[in-house]
Structure 1
Amino acid sequence: MSDGRNSLRDLFRIRLRGRWRPWAVAAFVLAGAMFATSALSSKGLDLRAASITDLNHVVRQERARSDDLQGRVAALNEEVGTLSRRVGGTEVTRLNRQVDRLKDPAGFAPVEGPGLTVVLQDAPKSEIDAAAEPGGVSQEELVVHQQDIQAVVNALWAGGAEAMTIQGQRVISTTGIKCVGNTVILHGVPYSPPYRISAIGDPSELQAALDDSDYIDAYLTFVDSYELGYEVIPSVSLEFPAYTGSTALKYARPDNAAATPAAR
């Protein structure tokens, strides 16, 4: 009889042990999921209410940061005020007035006044073709070159010209005239004859300066002999635009070789 009871007791223990194992595994899985969820939610921080005790420290840090930013804003406002006062100061006003006075002679302002215009033109085609025959002058002598334009410009400046244009472009201190083939390049733009050089100033003084130029006197010999174009047109009023091109400077190194004098 005792053996039968023992057998029943062992059977009950086996059944009870078989039922406990699944529940134990489920409980461990649930606990692990809860721990993982808590770790992800806290991102490594303490989720307990005790962390609220650091709130005063956080507030003090933010207040200090706010005070620092307000100090920087005040310093920048003061700097802006200082710069604004300088812009409106007497020194800046004086410099602006000086710039305004220099705009006219520098060519950066439009100008109007009496003056004259010199027109240079190549000789007629018949004269240029005749120059190709043996014994004639060179064809190069019967077309307008850079040095011819430059001679007129220099004479007009010497005659007191206040402002000048070539082909309608304002001439300034950095203006360069370059001859390429049968065209002249001015401020990067190629032009063909006739070339018009206009100057504002006293017309009689400008004319006298042209008459006193040795280079122009030599040029006029070709005008008389080969109909090279030369005309002077006085004007009661000329209007020149302000120069609006580039003001960048470019430098060149002079050649050591002696320059060959021009034929005219």
Structure 2
Amino acid sequence: MASQSHASPGRRRVWRVATPVVVILSGTLFAVSAEQSDGTDLRGGRLTDLGSVVRAERDEAGDLTAQVADLTTEVESLSAELGDRSVARAQDEIATLVDPAGLTEKSGPAVQVTLDDASFDARVAYEGDPNDLVVHQQDIQAVANAMWNAGAVAVTIQGQRVISTTGIKCEGNVVKLNGLSYSPPYVVVGIGDPLRMEAELTTDPILATYRDYTDEPGGGVSWDMTELESATAPAYTGLLDLTWATPIPE
């Protein structure tokens, strides 16, 4: 009896079906691998190139760090240069403002105006308002303003340098100037062109009204205007900061 050297018909049919399936799956895996690798080795090549990638990234990081250092140095240099220019510019501006602000001494030809109240007897005998025969803050301010309008480079009142923040205030029969009280006579000196200042002082309407009360019977307020060959206005040495009232916290 002959031996059974071949598999049964059922098993042969299984292999005929399984073999093509295995071939198809293998081809699919190869295709996927080829697409993912994009033509490069997915294993050995990647491990071999990793060191090169690290070195390349390290070299690039070193180059960028050096570039940052160079740019930082350049920025610091430009900032220092800008700072020097800013300081120099600020110093130049301060230098140009110190003089007109009244912080330097000024000397030169001047005009002096002296204002004084009428005598006590004249005020008692006066039939009008006794306040007409006393010097008020607006009279002193009018003298200073007329001098400024005529181009005065410096003005003093009672020897004090007048600046933009100088306040003149009447308190009773005295005038307070920069916190100090003064009684008449009030002496105002303007340094500048005497002719221009005298012309302005003569035509100022407020001062013209003031002079109307100099000729009152029995004596009125006094007005004396004198040209000085030279006078000196000291530098202002008081406070420069402005202060103001603030509400009390509840």
**Percentage of identical aligned residues:** 44
Using the alignment, how far apart are the partners of 2:204 and 2:186 within structure 1? 19
SS of residue matched to 2:215 = helix
Structure 1 residue 88, shift from structure 2 partner: 8.4
CA RMSD of aligned residues (A): 2.3
1:241 corresponds to which of 234, 239, 242: 234
Q: Which amino acid aligns with 2:110?
A: G
Structure 1 residue 250, shift from structure 2 partner: 4.1
In structure 2, stretches of 5+ residues that fail to align are 1-72, 246-250
Structure 1 residue 151, shift from structure 2 partner: 1.2
2:115 pairs with 1:124: no
Q: Does the 8 Å contact 1:86/1:92 carry over to 2?
A: no
Residue aligning to 1:158 = 149
Distance 1:126 1:242, change over 3 A: same
Q: Tell me which structure has the larger Cα radius of gyration.
A: 2
Using the alignment, how far apart are the partners of 1:87 and 1:170 within structure 2? 37
In structure 1, stretches of 5+ residues that fail to align are 1-77, 253-264
Distance 1:126 1:109, change over 3 A: same
Q: Which amino acid aligns with 1:165?
A: T
Superposed CA deviations along residues 4-57 of structure 1, whole A, max 9, x for unmatched, are xxxxxxxxxxxxxxxxxxxxxxxxxxxxxxxxxxxxxxxxxxxxxxxxxxxxxx
Superposed CA deviations along residues 124-151 of structure 1, whole A, max 9, x for unmatched, are 22201212xxxx0221111111111111
SS of residue matched to 1:207 = helix
2:99 corresponds to which of 97, 104, 109: 104
Residue aligning to 1:38 = none
SS of residue matched to 1:224 = coil
Q: Does the 8 Å contact 1:117/1:235 carry over to 2?
A: yes
SS of residue matched to 2:189 = strand
2:165 pairs with 1:174: yes
Using the alignment, how far apart are the partners of 2:204 and 2:103 within structure 1? 29
2:109 pairs with 1:114: yes
Superposed CA deviations along residues 200-232 of structure 1, whole A, max 9, x for unmatched, are 110000000011111111111101223311101
Length-normalised TM-score, structure 1: 0.59
Superposed CA deviations along residues 76-116 of structure 1, whole A, max 9, x for unmatched, are xx9xx99xx67982331222122111111110111111111
Residue aligning to 1:228 = 221
Distance 1:172 1:130, change over 3 A: same
Matches within 5 A, 1:145-224: 145-224=136-215
Using the alignment, how far apart are the partners of 1:87 and 1:176 within structure 2? 40
Q: How many aligned positions are there?
A: 168
1:142 corresponds to which of 133, 146, 152: 133
